[in-house]
Amino acid sequence: MASRGVNKQSTRVGPDVEPVLIIGAGPAGLAAAAELRHHGVPSRIIDRADAVASSWRTRYDALRLNTCRWNSVLRVGDRFAPGTPFFPLREHAVAYLENFAAKHEVDVQFGVQVDLIESVPEGWRVCTSAGPMTARQVVVATGHQHTPWLPDWPGKDEYAGRIVHSWHYRNPQEFQGLDVLVVGSGCSGLDIARDLAQGGAAHVQVAVRTQPNLLRKKSLGLPTDLLAAALYRAPVRVADSAGRFVQRSSIGDLRKSGLGRPKEGIFTGLHRDGSPPVIVGDDVFDAIRNRQFKIVASVSSVGADGVRLADGTMLQPDAIIAATGYTSGLTSVVGHLGVLDERGNPLNYRQPAVQPGLHFLGYAPCMGVIGRDAKRVMRHVLAELNSPTFSASS
């Protein structure tokens, strides 16, 4: 395709050096490849899995996006298939990403594990299971939900029941008739608790450490993700006040169900460290109000005698599902380059690269911003490819 303002000579490199190498064939990697192709820049994606959208394929069966289909597209004009629900299910997201990859003819090499990225005079060397690869520009797009994180609860090795991370949960079938404790009150934790309670689990409890900032998927008749995107640009105090109004008007008081008012506003957390609100469907709120699962205190320890909560209560669940989040999995790959914060997430990933030629995409906690962020990365990549003084080691 014809590019706009791109120096074609800048993408011509040696036979063993690629212009752009993208790590990860999920939404972020696919979006980056499509934007670069649209501007005449060749790129190649490498991914450890055997298909695009591998993380979506392995999530639980009932998963539904908390961004509406209007706001979940990767490029304008690349719509979800006709008949897709307003909030797409997991299988619709997978189908969309498959079709997107085919339409934009992205070049993907599967079965490649990335171990290390290091600076070299030509740009960047990516050490992989398929051997070293060198590129002038590298886009890391493996996502913020890369590596499941499980708390190191005191005594957990002595626990007689089953402990699984929510990443490995598929459906309630294997938990029918069991007493299940879900740890974590994020989107997945609450939705899995609802799925278990309605799918035959004998008793479901949710351990909550921090009161979640809850929102319905639709608020005031509009998709909440679109409302949140508009409010994000407002002053934080104004946005927090508007967020509390939306919560009061669409959710009401959940204290009798065990969920109190969060200590901080929605947008305070978003602007501070990217902590998103917990956006869930009406069915989850119905399950909360109908006491289909019980809210309990956070977990203090896990041992042979069961689970001790922070308030001293002892539980004896048959299984624990830890909806306790993820790490980026980037520390061993790029931690030595000074591009990560103390939590292992990319520094200022929406700004020009901390290390020239090394970019990060897909580390915002929702699919709705990936397309816009891909355009930003594309502009930075093109600027550096066109720069006569660019050097990864400069």
- Distance of alpha carbon 166 from alpha carbon 301, whole angstroms: 19
Same structural domain, 99 and 207: no
Place of tokens 């065990």: 258
**pLDDT (tens digit, 9 = 90+) per residue, 122-131?**
999 999 999 9
Structural domain span for residue 227: 149-322
In a shared domain, residues 32 and 129: yes
The per-residue pLDDT for range 288-345, each reduced to its tens digit, is 999 999 999 999 999 999 999 999 999 999 999 999 999 999 999 999 999 999 989 9
Is residue 221 domain-shared with residue 89, that is, in the same domain?
Answer: no
Tell whether the model's pLDDT for residue 7 goes beyond 80. Answer: no
User: Is residue 253 located within the same domain as residue 351?
Assistant: no
Q: Mean pLDDT across the stretch 207-227?
A: 94
- Whether 343 and 268 share a structural domain: no
Domain count, the chain: 2
Same domain, 205 and 265: yes
Do residue 201 and residue 345 come from a single domain?
Answer: no
Tell me which of 279, 305, 322 is where a domain ends.
322
Q: Identify the CATH number of the domain in which residue 353 sits.
A: 3.50.50.60
119: Cα separation from own chain's centroid: 27
pLDDT tops 50 at residue 70: yes
Q: Which of 355, 358, 335 is nearest to 138 (CA)?
A: 358
Pair 130, 33 in one domain: yes
Same structural domain, 196 and 301: yes
**43, part of any domain:** yes
Confidence of residue 274 (pLDDT cuts 50, 70, 90): confident
Within a domain: 392: no
Q: Are strands 179-183 and 319-322 parallel, antiparallel or unpaired?
A: parallel
**Has residue 369 got a pLDDT over 90?**
no
In this structure, is residue 133 part of a structural domain? yes
Given this model, what pLDDT does residue 11 score?
42
Q: Write down which residue in 288, 303, 322 finishes a domain.
A: 322
The reported pLDDT for the residue numbered 40 is: 95
* Average per-residue pLDDT for the chain: 91
Band (pLDDT 50/70/90 cuts) for residue 256 is very high
- Final residue of a domain: which of 322, 353, 371? 322
Residue 5 has pLDDT above 50, yes or no: no
Specify if 78 maps to a domain. Answer: yes
Count the residues in the chain: 394
**363 part of a folded domain:** yes
Are residues 226 and 335 located together in one domain of the fold? no
- Confidence at residue 275, expressed as pLDDT on a 0 to 100 scale: 85
Per the CB < 8 A criterion, the answer to whether 243 and 179 are in contact is no
Centre a 10 Å sphere on the Cβ of residue 332 and count the other Cβ atoms it contains. Answer: 11
Is the per-residue pLDDT at 394 higher than 50? no
Report the percent of the chain where pLDDT is more than 70.
92
* Interatomic CA distance for residues 189 and 354, integer angstroms: 34
The reply to whether 296 and 202 lie within a common domain is yes
Same domain for 220 and 190? yes
- Give the pLDDT of residue 389: 58
Most confident option among 193-202, 274-283, 352-361: 193-202
Tell whether the model's pLDDT for residue 352 goes beyond 90: no
Q: Is the pLDDT score of 355 beyond 60?
A: yes
Question: Does 1 reside within a domain?
Answer: no
Residue 9 has pLDDT above 50, yes or no: no
Residue 129 lies in a domain: yes
- pLDDT at site 4: 40
